[in-house]
Amino acid sequence: MPERLIVYMLVVPMAAAIVAMCLHGFRSIQRPVGSAFLVANFLVCARFLYTVCTATDPQGRVLVSQMGSWPAPFGITIVVDPLAALMLTVSSLVCLAVFVYSLTQLDDRFAGGFFHPMFHLLVLGVQWSFVAGDLFNLFVAFEIMLMASYAIFVLGTTRAQMRQAYKYVLLNLIGSTLFVTCCGLVYGQLGTLNMAHITQIVQDGRLPASSIPVITMLLLVFGAKTAIFPLWYWLPDTYHTLPAAIGGLFAGLLTKVGAYVMIRVFVMMFGGSPQVTAVLTPLILISAGVTMFLGVLGAVSMHSVRRILSIHIISQVGYMLMGVGLGMSAVSGLSGGAALASRELAIAGAIFFIVHNMVVKCCLFLCGGLMIEHAGSDDLNKIGGLLRRAPWLATLFLIAALSLAGLPPLSGFFGKWVLIREGFTQQQYWLTGFAIATSLLTLLSMLKIWSYGFWSPPQGQHVTRPHYRVRTVGGIASIALLVVVALSMGFGASSYMKVARLAASTVVYPRLYVDAVLGKAAAPRLAPMRPSHASIDGPETSGHANGLRGETRLAAVDSVETR
């Protein structure tokens, strides 16, 4: 498939949005058309994932399209590498599941209005963020995503929702303001916004020392999007006011986009600079520990399903952050090759964790929605005995909840286990200890929902009325879809981990990415790229200790020029 067709990943959702807008008011047509578009979207994404993962030529692993045919770094580039392709595929699947769920479960009051175009525009924003190859373009993508989320937020217009939407919009606007400021500052420092080009500058060792505070500000920006400590405030107060379908969409996608961008920016773009990693890694690792632990403490203290789940997002973000931090840190105790291998594995673990979390967290939110359908509330003090009323829902919930808690061989286990192993390898004992303690409290919070919601004496609006029917077929179907994906991530973790490691290797060794975007001739020869793609099969075989940084310096000596 021609490379430049990757733009279809944006064309499809945008077309879907336009069509949905034209069909405004005809919901019976909007629904099948929207579903068809989302299926097509998933197929396109999956097709490109297949392309990049099976490319025999390493060059084929990074697909690039220059918008308007202006060459990088002058024009705008969109890029699909294995990392982006994996994220796109899973996120499009999650979107599809949520859409199917919303067809039957979403109240008319939300599903009316501009829900359909907004939904597709949110998908557009998310996918755009994944393919953006330019910092300012990424900002634009974020804005589309956030603006769509603001608009979806006010669809229902309940009191609680409006009150929290105010906080959500305000805090996110602050983040966006900082982001656009940082784009300007980065341009001022480096004279370019193209991610590959910045990567190249960093790898050449041409990063001015004065840019380190700016990069730290970028951590603030993306940290706010990802909801890390101490920037998570927009999330816990807001998500639980949303209907489950919308909450599931937000929970599954928004913070994960932030985590993805963190990997892209801090590991790929700036990970090659020892000065930057020396400054950022402690911040990220400390924040990871605090985020995961305080987040889970907040979650177990809550008494309603949606609140537990939404605060829990934060805790899980801590694990992703831990992976990012471990992926940046260069441990003194490890030799060059081993340190790089450990970084790569940690990033692979983080990627696996993000993908797992997208699916499972969304799935749990949707389960929470069906619990409300059945019990009329999601306050654990007011409901109970759902197991008897909805055994299928209970089974699916239990699988998803135990996946989230990371019990083997379910999906959450493998990401966690790679992260803990690399944490020990990199001698981050305290952080790893926190990770283990956090997963215990995660288990407690999930058991809380299970014990008080599905076991316990039956109570709640419809639970005690066995003949009262609620429409949950669409909901159960979409939850089942997500659970099946989560199970495949557990029992087939090996293949997912292979893709994650492929993705991690293109991020930790950005040579391929830079070459593909900037073109070989234009780019000064950097360090040698990883020996061969065969070495992704095992950490022992990856003999990439050929001094990435050392040779980079040599190549960079003659190109350090100033204005």
Residues in region 46-75 near another protein by CB under 8 A: 66-71, 73-75
Write the DSSP symbol of residue 44: H
Distance CA 79, CA 140 (A): 16
- Does 180 participate in binding another protein (rule CB under 8 A)? no
The residues facing 63 across adjacent strands are 80
Quick check: 479 and 370 in contact, CB under 8 A?
Answer: yes
Looking at residues 505 to 524 of the shown chain, list those that interact with another protein (rule: CB under 8 A).
Answer: 519-522, 524
- Does 430 participate in binding another protein (rule CB under 8 A)? no
Least Å distance between CB 446 and another protein? 10
- Which of 47, 53, 60, 143 touches another protein by CB under 8 A? 143
Quick check: 15 and 37 in contact, CB under 8 A?
Answer: yes
Least Å distance between CB 147 and another protein? 4
- Which of 11, 23, 46, 279 touches another protein by CB under 8 A? 279
Least Å distance between CB 424 and another protein? 5
Quick check: 287 and 321 in contact, CB under 8 A?
Answer: yes
Least Å distance between CB 148 and another protein? 5
Quick check: 172 and 161 in contact, CB under 8 A?
Answer: no
* Residue environment code for 373-390, b if the CB has 16+ CB neighbours within 10 A, otherwise e: bbbbbbbbeebbbbbebb
DSSP assignment of 399-465: HHHHHHHT-TTSHHHHHHHHHHHHHHHTT-HHHHHHHHHHHHHHHHHHHHHIIIIISSS-BSTTTT-
Q: Angle of helix 429-449 relative to helix 305-328, nearest 10 degrees?
A: 160
- Does 432 participate in binding another protein (rule CB under 8 A)? yes
- Does 378 participate in binding another protein (rule CB under 8 A)? no
What is the longest distance spanned by two Cα atoms in the chain? 80
- Does 441 participate in binding another protein (rule CB under 8 A)? yes
Size of the site for another protein (CB under 8 A): 146
Determine the 3-state secondary structure of 523 from DSSP. coil
Which of 477, 444, 411, 143 minimizes the C-alpha distance to 296? 444
Of 32 and 188, nearer to another protein (C-beta) is 188
- Which of 1, 26, 43, 187 touches another protein by CB under 8 A? 187
Of 102 and 478, nearer to another protein (C-beta) is 102
- Which of 33, 55, 151, 331 touches another protein by CB under 8 A? 151
Distance CA 464, CA 159 (A): 30
Residue span binding another protein (CB under 8 A) among the ranges 46-54, 181-189, 320-328, 363-371: 181-189
Least Å distance between CB 482 and another protein? 20
Residue span binding another protein (CB under 8 A) among the ranges 33-41, 48-56, 91-99, 290-298: 290-298
Which of 257, 249, 15, 260 minimizes the C-alpha distance to 121? 15
Looking at residues 94 to 113 of the shown chain, list those that interact with another protein (rule: CB under 8 A).
Answer: 107-109, 113
The CA distances from residue 42 to 61, 83, 395, in Å, are 19, 16, 27
Looking at residues 9 to 28 of the shown chain, list those that interact with another protein (rule: CB under 8 A).
Answer: 14
Looking at residues 203 to 242 of the shown chain, list those that interact with another protein (rule: CB under 8 A).
Answer: 204, 206-208, 210-217, 219-220, 224, 230-231, 233-234, 236-237
Distance CA 120, CA 553 (A): 46
> How many C-beta atoms surround the C-beta of residue 27 within 10 A?
16
Least Å distance between CB 239 and another protein? 12
Write the DSSP symbol of residue 6: G
Least Å distance between CB 467 and another protein? 19
Least Å distance between CB 188 and another protein? 3
Least Å distance between CB 113 and another protein? 5
Alpha carbon 525 to chain centroid, angstroms: 32
Distance CA 267, CA 280 (A): 11
Least Å distance between CB 209 and another protein? 9
- Which of 40, 180, 407, 480 touches another protein by CB under 8 A? 407
Looking at residues 530 to 549 of the shown chain, list those that interact with another protein (rule: CB under 8 A).
Answer: 537-539
Of 231 and 267, nearer to another protein (C-beta) is 231
Of 478 and 501, nearer to another protein (C-beta) is 501
Distance CA 355, CA 363 (A): 13
Q: Angle of helix 336-375 relative to helix 244-262, nearest 10 degrees?
A: 170
Distance CA 167, CA 183 (A): 24
Calculate ∠ Cα 121-38-263, nearest 5°: 65
Looking at residues 27 to 46 of the shown chain, list those that interact with another protein (rule: CB under 8 A).
Answer: none
Least Å distance between CB 396 and another protein? 16
- Does 559 participate in binding another protein (rule CB under 8 A)? yes
- Which of 118, 265, 285, 507 touches another protein by CB under 8 A? 118
Of 12 and 493, nearer to another protein (C-beta) is 493
- Does 338 participate in binding another protein (rule CB under 8 A)? no
- Which of 9, 19, 124, 390 touches another protein by CB under 8 A? 124
- Does 334 participate in binding another protein (rule CB under 8 A)? no
Distance CA 373, CA 390 (A): 11
Which of 298, 551, 285 minimizes the C-alpha distance to 419? 285
Residue span binding another protein (CB under 8 A) among the ranges 98-106, 384-392, 465-473, 503-511: 384-392
Alpha carbon 530 to chain centroid, angstroms: 26
Of 375 and 420, nearer to another protein (C-beta) is 420
- Which of 40, 53, 174, 331 touches another protein by CB under 8 A? 174
- Does 424 participate in binding another protein (rule CB under 8 A)? yes
